[in-house]
Every structure is written in structure tokens, then in C-alpha cells.
A and B are shown apart, each in its own frame.
Chain A
Amino acid sequence: MHIPDGFISPKVYIPAYVLSSGLWIYSIKKVKKILNEETLPFLSATSAFSFILMMVVVPLPGGTTAHGLGICPLAILFGPFISFLSISLVLLIQSLFFGNGGITTLPINSLAIGFFGSIIVFYFYKIFGKFKRLGAFLGSFFGVIFSSFLISIILGLQPIIAKDPQGKPLFFPFGFSVTIPALVIPHIFVGIAEGILTLIALEIVKKFDKGKIFERKD
């Protein structure tokens, strides 16, 4: 799902940076409030879990890749904003040290995966109340699907907004008719796998957490 550098026009990634910067500043303030010797181990462990899932990559015919996100434990334990910040850090590390994803595309990947993905997971988990496992599974599933849909929209937009005087594309060359099915359909299967892995991960995190962070009310 990660978009590398060079495929997204500045017309898209510069506004995305502006939007993300505001959300990052707000998220850093939130992290400051909750960061202590009890929360930090869980934050770093769940961030590393997200990284591991994102590194298991399957290439897709539309030109991008399918992979798990691992956002559910982060979003449930810490809320969507801290989850967004952690996922952004994971994406930053991936792009800088592992060559997976890009720096110009960082805010797009972060918003699609980290922000909107986390919001979906968080609210599904909350809405399902008593049926937390179902909420976590569905949240993870739809989080993946929606993130892939957003990425496909951003990619499909490129040949429309960034072309030379002859009408040739300058960045990503394929429109929505290619990007939406190429990204969303494989991510249905990824979403199911993500849901199953999330349930396993949540059980393990719960075992360690002993209700300290997991059952907090906010």
C-alpha cells in the first residue's frame, strides 16, 4: 500500500503535509500527556508489531503492494491520534531505513493508514461495546479496506491533475478504473488476515496489560 517517492505530484503531497503537520503537532501533545514508564513499553511494542505486519508485502498488479497494517492494538490502546503518530513514525523509519515507501508520500501514507485506519478501528471497537472481539475484527478489516481505497483515490487522481501539455502523465499514470480494483480487491483478503492477527495480538497485549491501559475510559 505504501507509495514510493516520485509518483505523487506536489499538488497533492504539499497540502497533505500541511494537514498532517497539524495532526502530528496535536498528536505529540497527546503523547506527552500519556507517556510514562507503563505506557511506553506498550506504545513501542505495538508500533513494532505494526512495522512487522507492514513489512510482509505482496506485490499487486496495479503497481503497488498489499500488506497488513497492525493498527488495531495501537488504536485501541492509545486512541486514533497517538496511533496516527506511531504509524507515521513507523512509515518514516520504513522509508528512511528500509526503502519502503517515500518521504514525499509520507503524509499520504500516514493519513490513509495511520489516521483514517485508526479512526475506523477505534470507533468500530467502541461501537461494538460488549462484542469487543467482533469490533476489533471488523475495525481491522474495514480499516485496511478504507486505507487501501484512499490510497487508490490518491494514485488515480495523479493522471488527472498532473500531466504535460500533450496530456501525458507526469506522475502515477493510471486512473481510478485501474487503481481502485487493483488495490481494494486484494486488500479484502489482507483485511481478513489482519483481523485474525489483530485478535491474536490483542489477547497477548491484554495478558501483559492487565487492564491498566486497555480498559481506560477515554
Chain B
Amino acid sequence: MKEKIKLGIYIYLLIFFTILNNPYFYFISILFLVLLDLKFLIRNIKRILLSILLFNLTITLAYAIFTGIKSEVDFDYIILINLRVFLLTYLTFFFISHTNLFLALNFSKNLSALLSIALSQIIHYNKIMEDMKFAQKSRVIVNDKKLLKYFSKAEINYFFTKSINNAKEAALGMKSRGFFND
């Protein structure tokens, strides 16, 4: 129940922050979240900034150039959008690190089972993809399209084989515990 309340507060805050378009309020809210858990900021600031950097930087630069050419750079908008995006992303990561998502979303047995299996696979394969990227880089010196095609096919094949076999094991485990009988 506690986790569901946290989820409710998180959703309420997300909506509230997008309805209220006030950069001062955004700034104070960020400060409040930072003071709530300073260790969280230190551990996650790089991840938060990296996840918003690409989109925000492109929009900020494009909009600065666009308004700069027309008259003068609209700093109000740039501050507003950047603070809002930072606040919402910070809030999301903050929520995830302080909440058990599976307990918060367990109103549907099938949905939470699907979420747990998909997440476990995704985390696992994200790591495999990284390893594959390095393996490919270390083995291919020239940018040969045939080699790239060969690698892509082999990677997808490996990925599906491993993925289906792992999920089959999980499904059998679930079957033995009576998951599909209800």
C-alpha cells in the first residue's frame, strides 16, 4: 500500500509541475528534492544529466538561434524548459530509487509478471549489447558492409536464441508454481 501511495504522489507531482509554469517554483522544488536526499544527487547526477542532455541541448541551441535571429534570445523560455525537464527527470529517478516499482504496479498479476520478465531480459541484454559492440569494434578494422551484415545477423540470432531459452526457463518455473492455472 505504501508503494502505491508513493506512486500516487509521484503521478500527482508530475501533473502539478507541468500545469505550473513557474521557473522559481521549479528551482525551489529541485532544491527541496536535493536536500531530501543529498546522497541520491551525488550518485545519480551524471545519469540524470546524460539522459536529458541530447534533447535539451538541441532544443535550447536551436531555439536560441531561432529567437536570436528574429529579435533577441528568449532566455525565459530556455530557463523554464530546462528547469522543468531537469525537475521531472530528477523526480522520476528519485521515485524509482525510493520505490519498489513491482509492488506499486502489482494491481495486475499478468502485468507485473510481464514487467518483471521483460525488465530482467532487458537489463541482461543491454549488457550483452554493450559487450557485442566492443567485440565487433575489436574484431573489425575496416568498415566493411558485408562484415557488418554478418555481425548483425549473428547478433540477432544469438540474442533471440538466448532470450527465448531464458524466457522458456522462466515460464517453466512459473508453470511449476501454478502461475498459468488461475
Contacts and interface: CB of A to CB of B under 8 A. Distances in A.
Contacts of B170: 40-41, 44
A189 interface: no
Interface of B is mostly: helix
Interface of A: 4-10, 13-14, 28, 31-32, 35-38, 40-45, 47-49, 51-52, 55, 59-65, 85-86, 89-90, 92-93, 95-100, 102-104, 164, 168-174, 197, 200-201, 204-205, 208
A63 B56 CA distance: 7
B172 interface: yes
A48 B110 contact: no
Nearest to B117: A44
A170 to B, nearest CB: 5
A99 B152 contact: no
Given A28-B108, A204-B160, A52 B48 contact: no
B85 A45 contact: no
Interface of B: 11, 14-15, 18-19, 21, 47-48, 50-52, 54-56, 58-59, 62-63, 66, 74, 76-77, 80-81, 84-85, 87-89, 92-93, 96, 101, 108, 110-111, 114-115, 117-119, 121-123, 125-126, 129, 152-153, 156-157, 159-161, 163-168, 170-172, 174-175, 180
Contacts of B174: 37, 40
Contacts, number: 193
Contacts of A60: 58
Given A41-B168, A93-B119, A14 B15 contact: yes
Given A47-B121, A99-B48, A99-B50, A28 B160 contact: no
A44 B81 CA distance: 36
Nearest to B109: A32
Given A6-B81, A197-B156, A37 B175 contact: yes
Nearest to B92: A103
Contact of A45 (B87, B121, B123): B121
B153 A200 contact: yes
A8 B19 CA distance: 11
Contacts of A174: 62-63, 66
Given A37-B180, A90-B118, A170-B21, A55 B126 contact: yes
Given A169-B77, A200-B152, A40 B117 contact: yes
A45 B125 CA distance: 10
Contacts of A8: 18
